[in-house]
Structure 1
Amino acid sequence: MGWFSVSTALFLTVLYTQFLHAHSTTHWQDIQVLKQLKNSVDPNSITPGSCLNSWDFSVDPCDNLGGEKFTCGIRCDLNVSSVSRITEIALDQWNYSGSLTSVYWNLPYLQTLDISNNLFSGSLPESLSNLTRVQRLGLSRNLLTGSIPSSLGTLSNLEELYLDNNFLEGNIPQSFNGLKILKRLEVQCNKLTGELPVLDQLNNLNFLDVSENSISGELPASFPASLIQLTMRNNSVVGNIPASLTALNYLQVIDLSHNKLSGSVPASLFTLPSLEQLTLSYNQFGSIQEPGNLFQNSQLIAVDLSNNEIRGLLPGFFGLMPRLSSISLEYNKFSGMIPTQYALKMVFPGQGVSQFERLLLGGNYLFGPIPGPLLDLKPGSVTVRLGDNCLYRCPLRLFLCEGGVQKSLTECQAFGPIIP
């Protein structure tokens, strides 16, 4: 029994020594990709002491992570074959320049690739689709051009994709529907065109930002039910807001400003159970649908409908929404008097009701006197803009009326004979 124990111990010692040796071996294919990445970078952009400057391929990358060589930007894990593979490359914010086109990506164990905030140029290599285990792909804020490869839609383990702030062109690939566990997609600040594809197969997508592009056409007929934030400002989207958008129960932020949307603002937007911020400014909406009494459970904190073509009286229900503290209806074509509900919410909101801290009504055709409660407000206590209307006695010396003199009587009466 004693002999067996000693032999077993010797065997385990030898096995453990081999295991340690295997753990420090970086696969040759991984080293090749790292070499290609370093060779693709302009040597003049590699500053002494930087991550890339420390990459010395005369030694094993995975065995020198704690030393002076390969000091940062790489993480190695152990796979089932006891051979170390690169699982993370992070070169964020080093101002490296060069072309990614010369890199053939072949790192099947890579889970994170983040080379954001650099000066990399060229198109996105098709070989990025070889990163079959990648979970986070960060290429933000570079100088990348060309189209987005549809093959990226095969990265079934991808959870975060950042392509924003580049010069990418063409459409957002329909193949992105293959990214079943994607949680965040950011492609803002590019030159993307075409319609936003239907991405309703992305059942885990929480954040979608396609702002600052040239996306056109109408909004998709359906959206992922899991969306928390939808941002599409500064595009060329037309048409109405589809009913599918007003049925997203987890949605907290909608920003569709600076587009060409028209029709009515749906009442159901004001009753979404989780929505806190609604921004539809700089569009062509002509009216607002009343939500009835369902608005009493609204979670909205901020609403911006400024710079549209909305006519009619100011909606009274805004003054009764329990959490609403910021409302901008500036530069529309509202007429009539300022509702008493607005003044009371600003001065005497009531128990459990948020006060109006921002009430922006300038640039309309509102008439009549300023509600008495508003005259009791002190400068600096809240933000109120009533300028450029048809209000009776709204001098510039009154802080409520700053931001523009009232329209002339001729202009006010030309808009509607009801204005006295």
Structure 2
Amino acid sequence: MHADSTTHSKDLHVLKQLKAAINPATITPGSCIYSWDFTLDPCDSLFTEKFTCGFRCDVVLNSVSRVTEIELDSAGYSASLTAISWNLPYLENLDLSNNNFAGPIPGSFSRLTRLQRLALSHNSLSKAIPATLGSLPSLEQVYLDNNKFEGGIPPSFNGMNNLKRLELQGNNLGGAFPDLDQLVNLNFLDASDNEISGQLPASLPPSVFELIMRNNQIEGNLPLRLANLAYLQVFDLSHNKLSGSVPASLFTHPSLQQLTLSFNQFGSIQVPVNLGLTSQLISVDLSNNDIHGFLPGFMGLMPKLSALSLENNEFSGFIPSQYVLKVLGSGSGQNVAQFERLLLGGNYLFGPIPGPFLELKPGSVMVRLGNNCLYRCPVRWFFCDGGVQKSLTECRGFGALIP
């Protein structure tokens, strides 16, 4: 009787890499690895003398001592996470992304003390992230995104002093975000699409360039120490439950270029003392909050700002002249960017359409003024599209500011 159990071609590729990495003097004659010449499939013909795969390989793996890199980046590999961690202690780069691995990360991963890059993205790994990962002193990049991890982010991660990139997005992680202010080399942090709750810690990694935590349950005010993140360029906490005021320090930050706080519960915007004239911001999205009052005119003076979305808030009053001039590109100074995208729909703005807007041609700039209380803003004008104007009853019911 014969049975076919042909090895997957990609597994064969890994087996060849494995044998090539082993010192031939350490391979026991007669063992399964000794028999691999790859002219025959070592795992085929289950009940014949040709089959030598599986019975003795577990012990022979102990001969592997100097493999420094393994990359399995396509689905279908059958390598064992536990076997790798126990038998390859010199690994520096372990990439097992895009496979079908399930279950927890083995505790034996704490043996990989030389590991610099750990990539387990896009698997079905679950349970809690082991705290022992935080004890790996050489880790510089950790990719645990798009799995099924649950529980909290281990506070022990604060001990990974060499860590530069941490990706945790697309899991089921919950609880409060831990204090990671000791990660003085961290440049990129993404914890989006989880169930993280509570408030942000008062201190965050001081060296971070990109901080992305959208689509969680984070609440409370933004910490004042955000201004201390001197290298921050991208800050995205959209789709959370943040409230209070958007701090003025974000509009005077020395390096911040992209600010995304949409779909939260902010009620106001603090006006910076210098009116944002030193701001490096290119894009600001504060849409879908509860912000009230007049449109912040200072944003029309910010020199590099080219994309502004304040849609679906409770702004009222006239459209500031600073916005009009910035749309037309006729603001003061040659180095002042014009608005390429200005989204103001879904508020309670009133008054006439600024006359210069009538000269704008479709496609020249994106302006949305629909669903406000503006006088004579028919949808045939491209900038009035996005919803007809609110009824007079609704506008007057909003408050005394509507004439």
Q: Same fold (TM over 0.5)?
A: yes
Change over 3 Å in CA distance of 1:333–1:61 after alignment to 2: same
Distance 2:115 2:362 in 1: 54
Q: Counterpart in 1 of 2:305?
A: 324
Contact 1:100 1:122 in 2 (8 A): no
Q: Counterpart in 2 of 1:380?
A: 363
Change over 3 Å in CA distance of 1:405–1:193 after alignment to 2: same
For structure 1, the 5+ residue unaligned runs are: 1-42, 70-82
Equivalent position amino acid for 1:414 in 2: G
Contact 2:344 2:368 in 1 (8 A): yes
State the Cα distance separating 1:60 from its structure 2 match.
4.4
Contact 1:106 1:130 in 2 (8 A): no
State the Cα distance separating 1:211 from its structure 2 match.
0.4
State the Cα distance separating 1:272 from its structure 2 match.
0.6
Change over 3 Å in CA distance of 1:414–1:97 after alignment to 2: farther
Contact 2:82 2:108 in 1 (8 A): no
Change over 3 Å in CA distance of 1:418–1:125 after alignment to 2: same
Q: Deviations over 1:104-149 (max 9, x none)?
A: 5342211000011111111100111100001000000101011000
Change over 3 Å in CA distance of 1:294–1:318 after alignment to 2: closer
Q: Counterpart in 1 of 2:8?
A: 47
Contact 1:101 1:123 in 2 (8 A): no
Change over 3 Å in CA distance of 1:373–1:125 after alignment to 2: same
Equivalent position amino acid for 2:279 in 1: S
For structure 2, the 5+ residue unaligned runs are: 25-36, 39-63
Contact 1:278 1:300 in 2 (8 A): yes
Equivalent position amino acid for 2:178 in 1: P
State the Cα distance separating 1:94 from its structure 2 match.
3.5
Distance 1:384 1:157 in 2: 49
Contact 1:51 1:91 in 2 (8 A): no
Change over 3 Å in CA distance of 1:57–1:264 after alignment to 2: closer
TM-score, with normalisation over the residues of structure 1? 0.82
Q: Counterpart in 1 of 2:351?
A: 368
Q: Counterpart in 2 of 1:410?
A: 393
State the Cα distance separating 1:47 from its structure 2 match.
3.0
Distance 1:58 1:324 in 2: 53
Q: Deviations over 1:186-237 (max 9, x none)?
A: 1010000100000011110111111000000000010111011100100000
State the Cα distance separating 1:419 from its structure 2 match.
1.0
Q: Counterpart in 2 of 1:108?
A: 89
Q: Counterpart in 2 of 1:356?
A: 339
Q: Counterpart in 2 of 1:301?
A: 282
Distance 1:320 1:408 in 2: 32
User: For 1:185, what is the secondary structure of its paired residue?
Assistant: strand
Distance 1:263 1:281 in 2: 14
Contact 2:189 2:212 in 1 (8 A): yes
Distance 1:164 1:57 in 2: 27
Alpha-carbon RMSD across the aligned residues, in angstroms, is 2.1
Q: Counterpart in 2 of 1:38?
A: none
Q: Counterpart in 2 of 1:118?
A: 99
User: For 2:205, what is the secondary structure of its paired residue?
Assistant: coil
Distance 2:282 2:396 in 1: 35
User: For 1:295, what is the secondary structure of its paired residue?
Assistant: coil
Contact 2:275 2:301 in 1 (8 A): no
Equivalent position amino acid for 1:394 in 2: C
Aligned length: 361
Q: Counterpart in 2 of 1:219?
A: 200
In percent, how many aligned pairs have the same letter? 64
Contact 2:194 2:215 in 1 (8 A): yes
State the Cα distance separating 1:96 from its structure 2 match.
3.0
Q: Deviations over 1:306-359 (max 9, x none)?
A: 000000000001100000000000000000000010010010244111010000
Q: Counterpart in 1 of 2:235?
A: 254
Contact 2:11 2:77 in 1 (8 A): no
Change over 3 Å in CA distance of 1:130–1:375 after alignment to 2: same
Distance 2:18 2:173 in 1: 43
Distance 1:52 1:201 in 2: 43
Equivalent position amino acid for 1:378 in 2: K
Change over 3 Å in CA distance of 1:95–1:60 after alignment to 2: closer
State the Cα distance separating 1:52 from its structure 2 match.
4.3
Change over 3 Å in CA distance of 1:260–1:97 after alignment to 2: farther
Change over 3 Å in CA distance of 1:58–1:172 after alignment to 2: closer
Contact 2:378 2:384 in 1 (8 A): yes
User: For 2:379, what is the secondary structure of its paired residue?
Assistant: coil
Asked whether 1:168 is paired with 2:128, we answer no
User: For 1:169, what is the secondary structure of its paired residue?
Assistant: strand
